[in-house]
Every structure is written in structure tokens, then in C-alpha cells.
Amino acid sequence: MRITQQAMSYQALQRLQNRLDQLAQAQASLGSGKRIHKPSDDPSAMNRSMSLRGLQAASDQAARNASDGLLWTSLADSKLQTLLDRLHRARELAVRSGSVTNDAEREAFAAELRSIREEAIAIANSKIGDRALFAGTADGDAVSADGTAYLGDEGVVERRVGPNDVVRVNVLGSEVFGFDDGRDLFSVLDDLTTHIASGDSAGVQTSISEIDDSMDRILSALAELGAATNRIEAAQRRNADEKLSLQDRLSQVESVDVAEAIMQLQLQQVAYEATLGALARSIQPSLIDFLR
Amino acid sequence: MADFLSLHTALSGILAARAGVETTSHNVANAHSTGYTRQRVTQLSREYGHQTSYGTIGTGTTIDGISRARNEFLDMRVRAGLGLAAGLDVRASLLGRVEEALAEPELGIGAALADTWNAFEELSLSPTDPAARRNVIATLQALTTRINTVAESWNRVASDAQVSIQQDIGEVNRLLQEVAGLNEAIRRSSGLATPNDLYDRRDLALDRLAALIGATSREMEDGTVKVSVGGLTLVQGDRASEISWNADDLTIGHVSGVDVQPGGAIAEYQRFLAEDLPARQATFDQFVTHLVETLNSRHNAGTYGPGQSGADLFDPAATAFTLTLLVTDPYELAASGDPFATHDGGNAASLAALREEPVPGDGRTLDQIWREIVTDIGVSARTALDAASAQAGLQSAAELARMGAHGVSIDEEMVALIEYQHAYQASARVMTAVDELLDQLITRTGLVGR
């Protein structure tokens, strides 16, 4: 083929341009640490990257849901444990009241029971943030101030802690405190106080068995909360693993292998310099240099 | 008599060598001129000889003409490729801008959707928290803005393409006029002298026409070229017919009433405006319709305050361009699934669940629909880029072959220069020899007895 000076400089310029373009690309990928900057860089990898990013967002949110859920279950657990302690004390007082003969001592027992009842009402109206812990999804208190009525609803509070993994995190005051069974904890304590104050030992016996029923209800609620806590904690561990694996997969799809990128940059730089060198040698001489 | 003839023979050699040196210097001067074709003096031996009794003696050389080293086949090859390469470049850059507008993966609609689902889910955790409510409104607003921005940027790409096609059509008309003018000049000067440099100018214009609109040309017997686009003749002899761009129906009009079927860059602008962009806008609008319908129906199913149903989140008749958020008061977000349960976040959770639920009647989630739109655009942009760079490679090979055939090689010119210089010197030497012969005859002959 016939080669002319113009063709040579055209070709050399094009080669130089290609080399420089590749060098710029190698620099860009090393600088940003990313292999794909726009969909056309690698459409299928972009699809995977977007999908992984979506899963990552969902998994982050699931982690937040889980810690919020744990807040609910652990708070309800500690509140109900305290209530259980108070009921044990009430039962102990009821049992001991059988051997008490003087009115003043009975009155002291009754007074302590009244304060236990007040405490139980306060526990039943525990708050989590701006809402009642045991009132379902209703606003305001779970139990009326005098302990005679349940004010909440039957609302279920659930938390999504993983893909297709929804855990119920609340227990309802109406169940735990016995409003549903007709004998609520607060009237049981009220009756017990009356029985002790009046020295009605048969009444006290009935109340003791009623307190046992109440404690059973609380224990079963505690078991429910424990199971929920376990599920949430298991989901949290799974989620943490998942997060790592998602991060790993995302970086496989998106990120640049730094060692390879550095080598690539070096190679491109050498190639660019070689092209420049070849250009400098090939463009300069012509016959003119050798004519006198 | 024969002696005088030799003087003329030597003179013809000197004249031819001088023409050769002049043409060579023209070549060297134009070694880097765009579209220049190297020229050569065609030299033949003179056909009229001197008859003698013993045969015919040659009478020197004659200049037949100055030829132009043009190869029609290489021109055709380059021009066919020019149209393709320019078209693919245009396509790649237009689709590149379409995908740039998406700003995926970090700042695009995909990320805004994920933020939206998270905001709804966060709201379901604490439905009465004003901060969570405001956050939902803010993310919905961000989603709306990003959708609007993509639609706006796409419209801007379309209007830029309109401007470009308008400019290119203007340039085509100017070039058609130029070719017609050059045709006229070439026809008038033909026979007298070969207007090589006019041919070069015309070839340059034809190259540009091939790139812009895929014009093909055919040389006629009188030296003029006929230029046609898609079978429609645009230049014949010294007459050029104008073409015009109709922005409304996206066609190119011609005086004959027939629409021009262009090639080259203009064809790709036209195709982008008439097919590529509308198809993508339609799928984008379809996505927006799905988004609006699913979010609205979910939101309608929920309640806020004491027992009030959720209103439409978005305008139901919206397109990507006109999408607006209707619910801007955080209080009116229907987070509750139970009309009178203040702290219920059931409906917010159900809105967040759209993250994984397929759109009714489509079978894909909103995230999937969007991902497919992005991937689809990415694939077409990638294909266009690859095709453009492949064609650029082919094109540069064709261009190189043509440059090799047509261009000026300095080395070659130097060799020619030396040849002509030697030829000049040799002819001059012949003249001196003849002069000496004559001198012998005139001054030294007939001196016997002096």
C-alpha cells in the first residue's frame, strides 16, 4: 500500500487518541474505584447492582425494624417481670394474712396491697415513646386510672424483620391483665384487699387462686414475648450475615479490582509512552534530511 | 535542418521538465491541504516525426495534460462508510445522553424508590411520629422530582436533536448549492484545461454530504455529478433542489412533494425523534402509571386522623413529565389500616410491601419494571457505542487507503523533483551540444586556403 505523510500522521494521531482514551479509562476506574458508572458500561451488571442495592435498602430497614421490635419485647418483658414480682408479694401477703389476728396488722397488709395495685396500674399503663405498651394500637392509657376498665383495642403491632418474616411484638392488656376472662387483675387485688381488711379467710383463699390465674396469664405472655425476642434475634443474626454477603456481591459487581486496575494503568501508560516514542521516530525523517 | 530540429527537441524536454517541477511544487505546497489529490504531468513523446529517406526521427516530448490521482472506487467506499459512521456516532451520543439523564445507579429513580419503601416502613414503626411522616413526604417529593427531571432531560435531548437536524439540513442545502455551482464551473472549463482543484473542492463537498445525509453521486459524461439521496435526485447539472425539515411530522420535504429518505447523521436524528425516544417515553410513562395506580390504591385503602380515608397521593392522569405529589400535608398520610386505631401502621407497612409485591396486571414489582427500563436503555446505548467504534475502525481503514492513494508523499515528490531537475539539466546539455555542433559548422567550416 502506498503510504503518505498525511496518512501516517492521521494514523498516528488516531492511535495516540485510542491510547489516551484507554489511559483515561484506566485512570477513571482506579480513581473512582467503580467498574460501572452508567448503565451502558455493563448493562447486566447494572441490573444486578440495582437489584442488590434494593435488597440492601430492604435489609437495612429490616435491621431497624428488628431493633425497634426488640425495644418493644424487652420493655414489655421487664415490665411484666416487675409485675410478676409484685404479684408474688401480694400472694405472700395473702398467705400470711391467715395467721394475723390484730386489725392494725391487717390494715398494714391492706395498705401494702393497695400500693401494689397502684403500682400494677402504673405498669399496665407503661409507655413506649408516645404510646401505651399494652393498649394495642389505641391512643392514650391501656387501663383506666381506677383500674376498672381496659381502654385499648385489639390492635396487633408487627415488625418485618426479614424477607417474609413478620413478628408480632406486642401483647394486649386485655389478655395479660385478664379483662377478656372477666376477672381482671385489678379487681382481684381490690377484692383481696377487702377480704384481708375484713378478715374473710375464705374470700382470701379464692383471691389467692385468682392471683395464681393472673400470674399464669402473665407467664404465658412472657413466654410469647420470649419467643418473639428469640425470633427477632435470630433474624438480626441472619440479617447481619446477609448484609455482609450483599456488600460482597455488590462490590464484586461494581468495584474495581485495585491490583488489576493499577496493573492496567501501568500497562496503558507504558503503551502510551511507546506510541509517543514510535510517533516521534517515524514522523520526523523524510528524504529531505538526506538530500544535500 | 536536422540540427535546428534538435534544438527544438531539447526545448520540449526543458519545457516538460519545467512543468514537472511546477506541478511537484504545487503538490508539496498542498501536502497537507484537506481533500487535495496529488497531480502528475502526463508526458508523451511527440507524435509528429521528421520524415527522412531512412526513416522517421522523433521530435521530442509533449505535455498531454496534468492528471489527478483519483480513485472513484475508494471514494465510493469511503462515502458509504462516512454515512454509516456519522449516523452511528449520532445515535451513540443521543442514547448516551438518554442514559446519562437516568443518573443510575446512585442518584436515580431506583434509589429514590428504595428510599420511599424505607420511609413508609419507618412510618409503620411509629405512625404518629411527625418526623417519620415528614420524611415520607420528603422522599415522595424526591421521587417525583427525579421522575420529572428524567422526563425533562429527555425532552431537552429531543429539542437539541431538533436544532441539530435543522442545522444539518441547512448545511446540506448550502453544500448542494456548492456542488451545483462547481458542476457548472467544471462543465464550462472542460476541454480547455482540466480544473483539477475544482474537482477536489467538489469531492470534499460530496464527502460531507455523504456523512450528513448519506448522499450518493454519479459522474456524468459532461463532467458534472448527479447527487441523489434515497433515490431522489437533489443536484443535476447546475441545478440543486432545496430540502426542508418539518419539525411537526418529523419528515424531510422536497419540492417534488416526496419525502426524502435520508441516510447518515440526519437519518439517525430523525429515527431518534420518531422512534427511539417516543418508545422509551411510552415505557417510562407506563412505569409512572403503574407507580401512580398502585400507590394511590394502597393509600386510598388506609386512613388518617379519626377515620378519614387516604386521598390520591399522585394525580391519576399524570405522565412522567406532569407527575405531582397531591398529598403534601404529613398529617394526611394514611398510615393506618384500622380507621380508629391511632397508632396502627398497617397501611404504611402495606405501602412499604410494594417493594416486593408485583404490580397487578403486570407481574413485576415496580423496582423490577424500572430496572428493566434502565437495563434496556443501557443495552441499546452499549450496542450503539460498540457499533460506532467498530464502524470508526473500518472507516479509518478506508480513509487511510484513500489517503494513501490520493495524498502527497513528500519522499515521492522529492524523487520526482530530482528526476525533473536531471531531465532539465540533460536537455540543457543537449542544447549546448547542438550549439557546439552549429558553431563547428558556422565558424570553422569553409576556411580552407584562408
Q: Which of B31, B96, B401 sits opposite A1 (nearest CB)?
A: B401
Q: Which residue of A has its CA nearest to B92?
A: A40
Residues from chain B contacting residue A157 (CB–CB below 8 Å):
343
Nine cell digits for residue B330: 404529613
A16 closest CA partner among A285, A286, A281, A278: A278
Q: Which of residues 101-160 of B touch A (CB under 8 A)?
A: 102, 104-105, 110-111, 113-115, 117-118, 121-122, 125-126, 128-129
Nine cell digits for residue A207: 383471691
* Percentage of chain A modeled with pLDDT above 70: 100
Q: Which residue of A has its CA nearest to B113?
A: A54
The residue of B120, B399, B409 whose CB has the most chain A CBs within 10 angstroms, and thus the best one to mutate to test that interface, is B409
> How open is the CA angle B359-B363-B364, to the nearest 5 degrees?
70
The secondary element (H helix, E strand) that includes residue B284 is helix B277-301
Kindly state the average pLDDT of the residues A215-230: 94
The residue of A18, A44, A61 whose CB has the most chain B CBs within 10 angstroms, and thus the best one to mutate to test that interface, is A61
Q: Which of B114, B382, B396 sits opposite A43 (nearest CB)?
A: B382
Cβ separation of B381 and A54 shorter than 8 Å?
Answer: no
Which residues are CB-neighbours of A89 under 8 A, at least 6 positions away? A112, A116
Between A and B, how many residue pairs show a Cβ–Cβ distance under 8 A?
163
Q: Which residue has the higher pLDDT, A178 or B87?
A: B87
Asked if A217 has any chain B CB less than 8 Å from its own CB, the reply is no
Q: What is the least distance, in Å, from the CA of B10 to any CA of chain A?
A: 27
Backbone angles phi, psi at B39, to 5 degrees: -120, 155
Q: Give the pLDDT confidence score for residue A29 in this predicted structure.
A: 84
Q: Which residues of chain B fall short of a pLDDT of 70?
A: 1-3, 190-194, 447-450
Asked if B349 has any chain A CB less than 8 Å from its own CB, the reply is yes
Please count the residues of chain A. Answer: 292
> How open is the CA angle B91-B92-B97, to the nearest 5 degrees?
100
Nine cell digits for residue B206: 460530496
Give dist(CA B368, CA B358) in Å, integer: 9
Give dist(CA B191, CA B106) in Å, integer: 69
Residue located via cell numbers 462515502 = B79
Q: Give the pLDDT confidence score for residue B1 in this predicted structure.
A: 45
Residues from chain A contacting residue B110 (CB–CB below 8 Å):
50, 53-54
A61, A287 Cβ separation under 8 angstroms = no
The secondary element (H helix, E strand) that includes residue B62 is strand B61-68
Report whether pLDDT(A255) > 60. yes
Q: Give the pLDDT confidence score for residue A183 in this predicted structure.
A: 85
Q: Give the pLDDT confidence score for residue B449 in this predicted structure.
A: 63
Report whether pLDDT(A230) > 50. yes
Asked if B171 has any chain A CB less than 8 Å from its own CB, the reply is no
Give dist(CA B411, CA B415) in Å, integer: 6
B102, B109 Cβ separation under 8 angstroms = yes
Q: Give the pLDDT confidence score for residue B450 in this predicted structure.
A: 61
The gap from C-alpha B449 to its chain's centroid, in whole angstroms, comes to 90
Q: Give the pLDDT confidence score for residue B191 in this predicted structure.
A: 58
Q: Is the peptide bond before B358 cis (omega within 30 degrees of 0)?
A: no
Q: What is the pTM assigned to this prediction?
A: 0.82
Nine cell digits for residue A279: 510517533
